[in-house]
Amino acid sequence: MAHFETADIVLDVQNLRTHFETRWGTVKAVDGVSFTLRRGETLGIVGESGCGKSVTMLSLMRLIRTPPGRIVSGKIILDGEDLLTLPEPSMTKIRGGQMALIIQDPMTSLNPVFSIGSQVAEAIRLHQRTPKASLLQKVLEVLRKVHIPAAEVRVRDYPHQMSGGMRQRVVGAMGISCQPMVLIADEPTTSLDVTIQAQYLKLLKDLQRESGVSLIFITHDFGIVAKMCDRVAVMYAGKIVEEGDVRAIFNHPSHPYTEALLASVPKMEEDVERLYAIEGQPPALHNLPPGCAFADRCPAVMERCHAEYPHAVPVGDGHTAACWRLV
């Protein structure tokens, strides 16, 4: 795994909170999330569905629909500039330019009535002001980078004429077309079969190696984390409960939720009648308990866990976890 210096930090997220107003109350989807991302680094964000991973990434891009959602507080510092202080026209230039997003279902991000080429060209035209005469060549160059075969022919195709794997590559091409500093991949392999998934992960790594882009990879698959990431942040109920180097997380998980997630990963060498599953359900985000949100599902729960939320403590070099048993 790569080593980084503090001066290499390209993204610094501080105490980010994103809430949604609903008929049941205020949903604290992101509740005080902080992390950093360094140049050329891959940060994995893992957790169960509904833990706040995708809302965190949409908040970074300032794509939260208002109402019902709003970014309540925090800082999102990209290359020294706080994105939460910028007017919307400035954010339009940053989205797709300095920070890009690959979402998990390409059919929801590709317009079915426009050709692949025109959709890739739109971002290039908007952010790089490429002359019309050379725009097609730039589009073909980007499509070839993501290994679209016969790019000069497929550039005229529509999304429905491509397979799921090809569509996901096109979304990746749109993401890297303007050479962003930060690329967010929100479970981009969910709709792909295992063979295509492996090819796509290799493609992302190759693109990162060539361009030096910093990558945030959102997933619930620890196998992908092991292959792709330098560091990992584990989210539960809108908070990061553990963060550290990927090897430290795998070898010495310190939060009970991280331990439970790793125990849920099937091991080929073990012959068991029943796979491990985490008991219970995550709490409702509009009615969070005063203490640790994982307390009702935790096998190591103490009385203090129900009363107050634990602060994150260091458990190793760059490795922190928020659990009372570590205090």
- The per-residue pLDDT for range 226-282, each reduced to its tens digit, is 888 999 999 999 999 999 999 999 999 999 999 999 988 777 677 777 777 888 888
Residue 40's alpha-carbon distances to 37, 81, 168, 198, in angstroms, are: 9, 19, 22, 21
- The per-residue pLDDT for range 20-61, each reduced to its tens digit, is 999 989 999 999 999 999 999 999 999 988 899 999 999 999
The alpha carbon dihedral of 220, 226, 230, 232 has a sign of positive
pLDDT on residue 39? 92
CA-nearest of 66, 148, 162 to 112 is 162
Mean pLDDT on 191-208: 81
pLDDT on residue 60? 95
The alpha carbon dihedral of 183, 186, 190, 194 has a sign of positive
CA distance 160 to 291: 48
pLDDT higher than 70, residue 3? no
Find the helix or strand (DSSP H, E) in which 154 lies. Answer: helix 151-154
pLDDT on residue 41? 95
pLDDT higher than 70, residue 4? no
pLDDT on residue 13? 96
What predicted TM-score, i.e. pTM, was given to this entire model? 0.88
pLDDT on residue 37? 96
pLDDT on residue 206? 86
For 73, residues 6+ apart whose C-beta sits below 8 A from its C-beta are 15, 16, 17
For tokens 């993204």, the residue is: 11
CA distance 179 to 202: 18
Find the helix or strand (DSSP H, E) in which 136 lies. Answer: helix 132-145
CA distance 279 to 282: 10
User: In this structure, what token pair is assigned to residue 187?
Assistant: 């479970």
Domains of the chain: 6-98+180-276+311-326 (3.40.50.300), 108-179 (no CATH)
- Cis-peptide into 282, omega within 30 deg: no
User: In this structure, what token pair is assigned to residue 127?
Assistant: 């952010």
pLDDT on residue 36? 95
pLDDT on residue 152? 92
For 107, residues 6+ apart whose C-beta sits below 8 A from its C-beta are 159, 167
pLDDT on residue 16? 97
pLDDT higher than 70, residue 5? no
At 76, the amino acid letter reads I
- The per-residue pLDDT for range 268-327, each reduced to its tens digit, is 677 777 777 888 888 999 989 999 999 999 998 999 999 999 999 999 899 999 999 998
- 192 touches 222 (CB < 8 A): no
pLDDT on residue 196? 77
pLDDT on residue 2? 47
pLDDT higher than 90, residue 192? no
Mean pLDDT on 60-81: 93
pLDDT-above-90 percentage for the chain: 54
pLDDT on residue 279? 86
Whole-number average pLDDT of the chain:
88
At 230, the amino acid letter reads D
pLDDT on residue 7? 58
pLDDT higher than 60, residue 1? no
How far out from the chain centre does Cα 88 lie?
22
